[in-house]
Each structure stands twice: as C-alpha cells, then as structure tokens.
C-alpha cells in the first residue's frame, strides 16, 4: 500500500498542470458547497434561535378565554406549568409566558398602533449564550435594557428607533396607551421610555417591551394566572413535534362544575305586606310552624354547564330533559338555568325565582357569591341527578373563571353524569382542547372555526414551531434547496472533470500500464493506483476549498447591509450575513466529495486495470 501511495504521488506531480486545473475545479466546488451549507445553517440558527423563539417558541401552549375576543389567560398557572415542564423533561431549556396586547400609543403629538410585549427580566437566569443572543437581538442606541426591571420608574419600556421616531419620543419621555384589560374594561396607562434600540429583525421593530410583571398588573392578571406558555428546547428540530403531541395528550380537560351552597332569594324577605294582611299572616304562620323560611334554606348542589351556543348540542339537551315548568327557549337561552324538581321542592322555588350561589374558590380566601334566575324546572332521575342545576355556558363560564373552583375535591360530593349518558357530550369541560394543526394555514382555519362556534369555555391549542411559524420556516426549505442544487452542480463538475482527466491519463499512460502489468503488478493494484491518485487529489483539493471557503465567508461577513425596512433583514445579524459552519457539516461535505470522486474514478480505473499487458505494450501514439 505504501508503494502504491508513493507511486500515486509521483504520478500526480508528473502531470502538474492537468491536476492543478482539476484540483482547482474541485476546490471551487467544495468552497461553494461549504459556503452554501454554512449560510443555510446560519439562517436556520436565526430562524430557530432568534425569530421563532421570540415569535412563537419551539413549542407553545396557547390559551384564549376571550369569549369572542383574544384574551390569553389561564387561571391555574402552576397546573399548566407543571404539565408542560414534566413532559419536556431534560429537553427543556426554559419556558416563558407570552403576553402581548395590541393598543394605541400616544407620544408627543403622534399616535401609532403598536404591540406591547411582556418580557421576563427579573425571575430569569440567563446563560452566557442567552445573554449574547439578547445583546444581538436588542442593540441599544440609548438607555439600558436592564432598566425594564427598575421598580422606581413608572412602567419602563424599550422600543425600536423606528417607533420612537414615529411617536416623536426620546429617552425618559412618557408614552400614553389605551387598551382593554382581562375584564374587558378600557384602561389607560403611562409608560416611561428607558431605552431605544436598533433592530435588524423586522418582527421586532413594531413592538414595545415592558417587564412581564408590569404588563400583567396593568392587564389585571392575578398571581396564579398566566398567559401563553412558550418553550425553548435543546433540539427543536427533533423534539418540538413529539413534545407538542405529549403535552396535548396530558391536557385532556375534566368536566366543569361548581359545587355550591344554594339558597332562594326572596324579594319581600318574609315581611308582612301592609296592603295584604292575609299574605303577611300566612308567612307568619309558616315561620311559626317550621321555624325557618325558604330564603334561609341552604343546600349543596352541583352546577353543570351545557353548550347552548352549539345548535346540535342544544337540541340534544332539549330532547334529553323533560321540563315540569318553564319555556324551552328561555331554559336553553343564553341566561338559561334549570333546577331539578327535587331541589325546587327543597328550596321552595318556582320558575322566575332567584337563587344565590356561594362556593370556596381554589385560590381566593373570600367566598365567591353570585345569583341567577330560575328559567325552568326539570324532572330529575338517576341519570341527570337530583341535586343538580344545569346552566347555559354563557351564564356558567364567566362565574367559573372569575373565581376558579377547586375541581380536585372529593367527587363523591358532586354529581357528574356518566360517560354513556346520551347528553354527556353536550356538557361543558374545564376548557376546550383544540386538535393539533399541520401548518400555519391549518392553524388559522382551526381558530376561525372555533371562533364561529361562539364557545364560552376557554380554548387551549398546543403547537410546535412547524405549525405556528411554518411560513417563516419555509425560508429554511428554500435555502436547503439551494444547497442541494449546489451539490448537484458540484457533482457534475467532479464527474466530468474526473472522467475526462482519467481518460486522458489512461490513454497517455497505456504503455506504462502494460509495462507494470508485464513485470507482475496485479489488476487490483492497477485499479487501486488510479483510485488512490483520484482520492489524494480530491482530498487536498477539498482541504484547499475549505480554507478558501472560510476566507470568503470572513470577507462576506464584513460587508454591512442597510436593509432595516426590508423583510430580507431577517437573514442578517447586526446588519451582516450570518454563516454557521459546523464540523459535522464540513467533514460530511468532504466525505461526500470523496465518495463522488472515487465512484466516478472507479469505472475508468477498472478499464485500465483490465487492459491486456500485450495490447498495452503495443500501443503507440
């Protein structure tokens, strides 16, 4: 083998001009391939770690309790966080709450529609890499990013230079905003500009950043409530879809209910009517006989919601219940509430009476109290329950979410219809878990369909970056296509160059081949000799191409591109091209080129090895 290696080197140096030209072509092809591959990796790095992470997260759990508008709020933060973090396990880098509101901002005589985004800078431990990424993404022109957490300043914000100019504000100026909080109330607040940033990411130029805790306070979030959860993963390409599926399986909702103490509200409160002595006398007799009035009776009952905004489910409820009193259109209308005949008798209520409900919330110490009018009384049995009250979703869910009850109580106290009951599908759950999406378009269609159903229950949607940001990630596919095209071009360069060079070499060295065969060299050694020559030439040309690629990438990285208002700015980092060569990528490319060269050289080399020695010696040119 050593002898063949030495002979191969000697032959390569004998034909310097031809081999230099072929080596240069291979080196140029390797250079193009490595540059394209590094640029593609750089774009992937920007998309996955600098855009998708901030826009949607590698995996996000979107919550919406808007009841007709966009309201990202989940009432049990600890429960949701526990589910997503347990499923993510060691793959999780970090999770963040995603809360953003569209609003009208008023600067110094200028008005702009903007997005206010909450960022967590207080309770977040950043790695060196994360700090570097933040510095790259938020390049401060004036002020300091860390001032967002300064509690002595009134709602400090950082905004882009473009929006600062549009609002005509500078450092320490006040920006007034008008928005709606989680209760649907129109609010106004004052924000203090503590930083102005220059950002080459077009997605970040239209926003104002505020400390997450300040935004939650302005919006009316309570300590145990959270917004959308965004997860950052170690290996997003491999694990984001799998993790989204696992979280989806764990978020299956339980039946929604309120176990409440119920009593009748009496308008006259057992006071004798001066205009009707007989009525006063009768009420007095009731008190003397029973010692208690209907308005003082306190009974535990289970409140269950039915999905009355869904026509098929509404019809299912109507067909499943027999009313003793009340009009169907009122009982199953948006303020509808029907009480079992058993409870009606106990509470001494009829259609039109008002009931007061009180229950212990899961998080608040103060008892929650609300009232509603009885629209109907239904015939109770073991299937629909005796101590049960069914309410329309429009009536039930606002009370349910405002003071979330503890659903982990002993369910022996609660009546929940069995799964095989005909109307079970028409009853509400804690939330509505939306089906997984395939891409961004599918996600949009799904959300529009959910909005049309006018559900009053909160919705939860689990998405990986491939659904929530598929439009952005199409750029990576386009760049991968460019890389593949470069490989194909390189393949043909090598294929044509190697075949032509070997043909000429074999033709010129035919007598030499006959000589070495005549003195005893075997066919396999002749074959190996030509393959080794090609391999050595390709290897050193690939090394030269790799060095040249790094020189070219370093030069291109120094060029500044001023494209702040151009969508192509997302391909840049600090207004410069971003190349990310990897060891595995470079070695893989060199191995691919070597393989192509060897396969291409094999057939001419075999032809030379099979050339009869006598014919080769007689060859004359």
For residue 448, being part of any structural domain is answered with no
> Mean per-residue pLDDT for 24-36?
85
Q: What is the pLDDT of residue 43?
A: 79
- Condensed to tens digits (0 to 9), the pLDDT of residues 6-21 reads 666 666 667 777 778 7
Q: What proportion of the chain, given as a percentage, has pLDDT over 70?
A: 79
335 and 274 within one domain = yes
* Beta pairing class for 156-160 and 186-198: parallel
Cβ atoms 355, 339 nearer than 8 A: yes
Q: What is the pLDDT of residue 193?
A: 96
For residue 222, being part of any structural domain is answered with yes
Strands, E, within 408-466: which ranges? Answer: 431-433, 458-464
192 and 268 within one domain = no
> Mean per-residue pLDDT for 205-231?
92
> Does residue 140 register a pLDDT over 80?
yes
Q: Is the dihedral of CA 479, 484, 485, 487 positive or negative?
A: positive
Q: What is the pLDDT of residue 560?
A: 81
- Condensed to tens digits (0 to 9), the pLDDT of residues 581-601 reads 989 889 988 888 888 888 877
> Mean per-residue pLDDT for 146-150?
90
567 and 512 within one domain = yes
- Condensed to tens digits (0 to 9), the pLDDT of residues 79-124 reads 999 999 999 999 998 888 989 888 999 999 899 999 999 988 876 6
- Condensed to tens digits (0 to 9), the pLDDT of residues 525-569 reads 777 777 787 888 888 989 999 999 999 999 998 888 776 556 566
201 and 281 within one domain = no
C-alpha torsion angle, residues 174, 176, 182, 183 (rounded to 10):
130
Cβ atoms 248, 390 nearer than 8 A: no
- Condensed to tens digits (0 to 9), the pLDDT of residues 475-488 reads 667 777 777 777 77
For residue 438, being part of any structural domain is answered with no
Cα separation values, 353 from 263, 264, 266, 371, Å: 11, 7, 8, 10
For residue 345, being part of any structural domain is answered with yes
Q: How confident is the model at residue 439 (pLDDT cuts 50, 70, 90)?
A: confident
For residue 105, being part of any structural domain is answered with yes
Q: How far apart are CA 298 and CA 294, in angstroms?
A: 9
279 and 133 within one domain = no
For residue 192, being part of any structural domain is answered with yes
Q: How far apart are CA 308 and CA 457, in angstroms?
A: 11
Q: Which domain range does residue 265 map to?
A: 258-429
378 and 342 within one domain = yes
Query: What's the pTM value of the predicted model, to 2 decimals?
Result: 0.73
77 and 36 within one domain = no
- Condensed to tens digits (0 to 9), the pLDDT of residues 385-435 reads 999 999 999 999 999 999 999 887 767 789 999 999 999 999 999 999 999
Least confident of 212-221, 445-454, 505-514: 505-514
Exposure of 33 by Cβ count < 10 A (0-12 exposed, 13-18 middle, 19+ buried)?
buried
Two tokens, residue 103: 């609003």
99 and 23 within one domain = no
414 and 479 within one domain = no
Q: Identify the CA nearest to 181 among candidates 69, 83, 280, 264.
A: 69
Q: What is the pLDDT of residue 617?
A: 54
The per-residue pLDDT of the chain, averaged, comes to: 82
- Condensed to tens digits (0 to 9), the pLDDT of residues 254-275 reads 999 999 999 998 754 433 333 3
For residue 124, being part of any structural domain is answered with yes
For residue 274, being part of any structural domain is answered with yes
Phi, psi of 324 (to 5 degrees): -90, -30
Per the model's pLDDT, the better-predicted residue between 184 and 73 turns out to be 73
Q: How many domains does the chain have?
A: 3
116 and 44 within one domain = no
421 and 348 within one domain = yes
Least confident of 43-47, 154-158, 616-620: 616-620
Q: What is the pLDDT of residue 604?
A: 72
599 and 497 within one domain = yes
């Amino acid at each position: 083998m050593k002898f063949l290696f030495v002979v191969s080197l000697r032959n390569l140096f004998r034909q310097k001009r031809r081999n230099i030209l072929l080596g240069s072509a291979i080196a140029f092809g390797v250079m193009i391939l490595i540059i394209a591959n590094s640029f593609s990796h750089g774009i992937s790095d920007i998309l996955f770690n600098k855009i998708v992470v901030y826009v949607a997260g590698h995996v996000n759990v979107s919550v919406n309790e808007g009841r007709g508008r966009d309201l990202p709020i989940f009432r049990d933060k600890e429960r949701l966080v526990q589910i997503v973090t347990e499923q993510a396990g060691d793959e999780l880098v970090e999770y963040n709450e995603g809360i953003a509101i569209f609003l009208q901002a008023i600067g110094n005589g200028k008005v702009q529609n903007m997005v206010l985004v909450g960022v967590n800078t207080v309770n977040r431990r950043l790695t060196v890499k994360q700090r570097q990424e933040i510095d790259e993404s938020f390049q401060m022109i004036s002020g300091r990013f860390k001032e967002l957490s300064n509690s002595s300043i009134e709602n400090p914000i950082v905004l882009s230079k473009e929006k600062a100019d549009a609002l005509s504000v500078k450092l320490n100026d006040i920006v007034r905003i008008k928005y709606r909080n989680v209760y649907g109330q129109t609010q106004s607040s004052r924000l203090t500009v503590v930083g102005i940033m220059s950002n080459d990411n077009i997605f970040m130029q239209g926003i104002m950043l505020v400390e997450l805790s300040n935004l939650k306070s302005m919006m009316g979030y309570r300590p145990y409530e959270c917004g959308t959860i965004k997860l950052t993963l170690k290996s997003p390409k491999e694990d984001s879809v799998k993790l989204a599926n696992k979280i989806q399986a764990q978020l299956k909702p339980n039946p929604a209910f309120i176990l409440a103490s119920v009593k009748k509200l009496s308008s006259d409160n057992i006071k004798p009517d001066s205009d009707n002595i007989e009525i006063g006398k009768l009420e007095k007799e009731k008190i003397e006989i029973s010692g208690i009035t209907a308005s003082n009776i306190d009974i535990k009952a289970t409140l269950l919601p039915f999905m009355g905004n869904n026509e098929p489910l509404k019809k299912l409820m109507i067909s499943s219940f027999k009313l003793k009193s009340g009009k169907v259109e009122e009982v199953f209308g948006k303020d509808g509430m029907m009480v079992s005949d058993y409870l009606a008798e106990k509470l001494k209520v009829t259609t039109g009476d008002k009931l007061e409900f009180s229950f212990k919330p899961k998080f608040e110490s103060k008892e929650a109290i609300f009232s509603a009018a009885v629209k109907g009384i239904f015939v109770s049995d073991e299937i629909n329950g005796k101590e049960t009250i069914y309410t329309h979703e429009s009536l039930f869910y606002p009370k349910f979410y405002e003071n979330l009850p503890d659903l982990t109580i002993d369910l022996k106290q609660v009546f929940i219809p069995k799964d095989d009951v005909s109307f079970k599908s028409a009853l509400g759950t804690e939330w509505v878990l939306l089906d997984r999406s395939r891409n961004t378009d599918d996600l949009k269609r799904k959300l529009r369909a959910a909005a049309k159903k006018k559900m009053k229950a909160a919705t939860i949607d689990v998405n990986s970056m491939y659904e929530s940001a598929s439009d952005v990630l199409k750029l990576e596919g386009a760049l991968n296509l460019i890389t593949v095209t470069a490989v194909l071009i390189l393949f043909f360069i090598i294929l044509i160059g190697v075949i032509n060079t070997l043909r000429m070499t074999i033709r010129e060295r035919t007598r030499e081949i006959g000589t070495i065969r005549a003195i005893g060299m075997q066919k396999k050694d002749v074959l190996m000799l030509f393959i080794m020559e090609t391999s050595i030439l390709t290897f050193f040309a690939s090394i030269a191409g790799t060095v040249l690629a790094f020189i070219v990438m370093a030069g291109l990285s120094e060029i500044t591109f001023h494209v702040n208002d151009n969508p192509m700015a997302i391909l840049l980092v600090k207004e410069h091209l971003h190349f990310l060569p990897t060891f595995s990528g470079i070695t893989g490319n060199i191995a691919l080129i070597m393989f192509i060269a060897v396969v291409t050289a094999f057939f001419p080399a075999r032809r030379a090895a099979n050339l009869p020695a006598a014919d080769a010696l007689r060859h004359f040119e």
